[in-house]
Structure 1
Amino acid sequence: MNEDKVVTVNRSLRKQVVIVAMSGNMLLDFAGPADVFTNADKCLSLSGSKMGYDVLIVSPTPDRKVATSTGIEIVCQYSAMEITTPIDTLIVAGNDFQTLQKSAYTDFCNWLSFVSENNTRRIGSVCGGAFALAEAGLLNGKKATTHWQLSERLKKEYPLVEVNTNAFYTGDGHIYTSGGVSSGIDLALALVEEDHGKDIAIQVARRLIFYLSRPGFQVQFANLLPVYESSNIAEKLYDWFNENLHQPLDVGRIADHLNMSPRNFTRVFHKQTGLPPAKFIEKLRVETARKYLEDTDMSLEGIAEKCGLGGLVSMRRTFLRHLMTTPSDYRRAFRTSIKTPGINDVIQPNVYHRN
């Protein structure tokens, strides 16, 4: 095929999925969704269906090259700008506006700004791909998500976007956005289910050994407290807080420790951290409890007491408020892998032994 030939996408029983692999991202950002749609195509073929997906990975730059964060460089068959609409499903995977100047993507963003529901049935993003959609104006007035580490930046740089980082993926009209890395798989499975029903989507999820609907929220992965500079009052108090988490930590006691008046301490603390002292301490208690749940065999009661979270009922309520999960469910999901039982520990020895 002539490499200068423009690709024309026609609507048919086979849906064209175009995945734009942005430079500087993880392979899974674009490979995950590509594997979902490719395996969905195989499942549909095995079922005797004439419907399916044609998956095309393209670059956002005319040179058709994509450099990934792993050091692997891929050369795409086409750039996005060489594709004429309509496209059935367009997904922008990852972004590297932080490592490449936006000017490198000028042509792509201009092309993207002309993509709409009139010529493309669905438009989606994975991880930082939301920035490209926002830059093209496609997220103005829309609900959207991105990787939890990028959410504040997305809010700041694109105030017209209604950012919600809790969900693994979200949809608003014909626009779909997803969180970080593996969330692109969650989104792609949801789109397959939307197209061909739950049975096909389940078959794909089983092939990939992945949840069809993954339990939990992105907030469970995020740090509740930001990293503060060494001069920040919260950083200065960090060690003292941790030594005394098991005790009541009211404003009066903390202010006395710093030889400040409660009123002045509250004012300075809120100004430097953006949080009232009580809210900061509650988040610190949850963050500390998370580490005990991940790394130790300490009982839930012991963790609640050590972190000053009261009893089990109180700790459960606090975890649900901040992480949308219970302490026991959090431990099951995030327990340090080396402490997780292997298959040989789960299966009773000699169960399958034949005499």
Structure 2
Amino acid sequence: MISDDVAVPLRHHVVVLSLPGVLPLELGIAAQVFSMDPNYELTVATYEQVVPVARSGFSVTGAAGLDALDKADTVIVPGYDDVDADVPGAALTALRTAHGRGARIVSICSGAFALAAAGLLDGRPATTHWQVSDQLQRRYPGIEVQPNRMFVDDGDILTSAGVTAGIDLCLHLIRIDHGAAASNSRARFLVAPPQRPGGQAQYIDQLRSRPSSQELATVRDWMLENMAATITVDDLAARAHMARRTLVRRFRNETGTSPMAWLTDARIDRARELLEATTEPIERIGRLTGLGNPASVRAAFHRRVGTSPQEYRALFRQEARADVTSPRRPPVLSNLTGTA
């Protein structure tokens, strides 16, 4: 029995707001991380009594409604399927109110679109899944979208990239609240790394931007076929039969970047393919792609991918081998407090 004069420490109250079309893994990540941690109290809240889960054939019944946000210390918005869908006005109001009274607001993946719709990301840095980061930036130009980040911690508002980056962010929250030892312990329970090296860029399938038109398609094709050679803007202008300034302007209009920046991304894309599929040494990969000597390859990877070529190869070659050699096992489902 606990004496009346002994204070019982209050647990940090986390409310996971499940919006229509919620992505099941992202909802599960937030619930799994915090529902079984004794330092936290978890509530799953829904806008409606029953919320459909994206393309899954089942629904989620929340333990509470939007009023749960009134007492939340942290509100987490997992990603949802249709980022073009209007977020219910009552949900946006509840997010703004929670933030206004001092709650920490967190999004996983496309949940950033709900935070943006509520006006909470205006003038702030944020990230989301790399597939929709450009869309977030176009729709909300006041946000400083950082598509290469696993997560962005802007104090009272935090956003993560897609899917498993939500684990990285949730562990980061525990690290903030209770220190590295607590975060590491939770990571071991989840069988996840406490912190992953590099950024989201290492998971993007193609770094080079996709063109909006094909006027300079033959020039770009030639760049891809000859990337091992030394290529200058003057070379490209001559092939396009344009003045240098005209070529640069039209190239930027089509791709959103300069010719040499696009070529560097294309070279890194090719280097990533070689790192994943071959055992070629870094020195030879640098020659094959035109990235140069090993030091130049490492510098380009750190600057654009956020990790080293060796770390990238270790991650993706290992995953490739696991895909081939590991038997498929059925998923293990856990009971999640506050969900049904």
Shorter-chain TM range is 0.7 to 0.9
1:32 aligned residue:
29
**Matched position secondary structure for 2:44:** strand
Please list, as runs of the form range in 1=range in 2, the aligned pairs for 1:33-182 lying within 5 A after superposition. 33-41=30-38, 52-59=39-46, 61-79=47-65, 81-83=66-68, 85-98=70-83, 100=85, 102=86, 105-116=88-99, 118=101, 120=103, 122-182=104-164
Q: Secondary structure at the match of 1:83?
A: helix
Q: How far apart, CA to CA, are the structure 1 residues paired with 2:170 and 2:55?
A: 22
Task: Work out whether residues 40 and 201 of structure 1, in 8 Å CA contact, stay in contact via their aligned partners in 2.
Answer: no
- Segments of 5+ residues of structure 2 without an aligned counterpart are 1-7, 327-340
Query: Quick one: distance in 2 between partners of 1:270 and 1:116?
Result: 39
Contact kept in structure 2, 1:109 and 1:135, CA below 8 Å = yes
Query: What is the CA distance between 1:307 and its match in structure 2?
Result: 0.7
Give the deviation of 1:218 after TM superposition.
1.3
Decide whether the 8 Å contact of 1:66 with 1:76 is kept in 2: no
Structure-2 residue corresponding to 1:275: 257
What's the CA shift string for 1:252-310, capped at 9, x where partnerless?
33334344444543333233222222222112111111111112222212211111111
Determine the C-alpha separation between the residues in 1 that align with 2:199 and 2:37: 25
Q: Does the CA contact (< 8 Å) of 1:40 and 1:200 recur in 2?
A: no
Q: CA deviation at 1:151?
A: 2.4
Q: Identity rate of aligned residues, in percent?
A: 33
Partners of 2:15 and 2:68 within 8 A in 1: no
Instruction: Give the Cα–Cα distance (whole angstroms) in 2 for the partners of residues 275 and 170 of structure 1.
Output: 24
Counterpart residue number, 1:324: 306
Quote how far apart the aligned CAs of 1:230 are. 5.9
Paired with 1:135 and 1:34, the residues of 2 have a C-alpha distance of 24
Deviation at 1:343, TM superposition (A): 9.8
Structure 2: how far apart are the matches of 1:143 and 1:258? 38
Aligned counterparts of 1:153 and 1:94: Cα–Cα separation in 2? 15
Distance 1:175 1:263 in 2: 42
Q: Structure 1 residues 252-261 or 134-143, which shifts more?
A: 252-261
Q: 296, 303, 328: which is aligned to 2:278?
A: 296
Aligned pair in 2 of structure 1 residues 31, 166: CA closer, same or farther (>3 Å)? same
Indicate if the aligned counterparts of 2:16 and 2:77 stay in contact, CA closer than 8 A. yes
Query: What does residue 3 of structure 1 align with?
Result: none
10, 13, 18: which one pairs with 1:21?
A: 18
CA contact (8 A) 2:18 2:51 kept: no
Structure 1 residues 178, 324: CA separation in 2 closer, same or farther (over 3 Å shift)?
same
Distance 2:154 2:266 in 1: 34
- Structure 2 counterpart of 1:245, from 227, 231, 238: 227
SS at match of 1:170: strand
SS at 1:56 equivalent: strand
Residue by residue, what CA displacement relative to the aligned partner does 1:77-107 show, whole Å, maximum 9, x if unpaired?
333x24262212111111345353x1x5122
8 Å Cα contact 2:106-2:157 kept in structure 1: yes
Counterpart residue identity of residue 195, structure 1: D
What is the alpha-carbon distance in structure 2 between the residues aligned to residue 268 and residue 290 of structure 1?
Answer: 28
**Separation in 1, partners of 2:133, 2:12:** 31
C-alpha change, 1:53 and 1:331, in structure 2 (3 Å) is same
The equivalent of 2:211 in structure 1 is: 228
Find the counterpart in structure 1 of residue 4 from structure 2: none
**1:30-72 CA-partner distances (Å, limit 9, x unpaired):** 211211112322xxxxxxxxxx32212222x324313224443
Count of residues in Structure 1 that have an aligned counterpart in Structure 2: 318
Distance in structure 2 (CA, Å) of the matches to 1:270 and 1:133: 31
Larger-gyration structure (1/2)? 1
CA contact (8 A) 1:64 1:77 kept: no
Rounded Cα–Cα distance in structure 1 between residues aligned with 2:69 and 2:107:
19
Whole-Å separation in 2 of the counterparts to 1:270 and 1:176: 32
Corresponding residue of 2:337: none
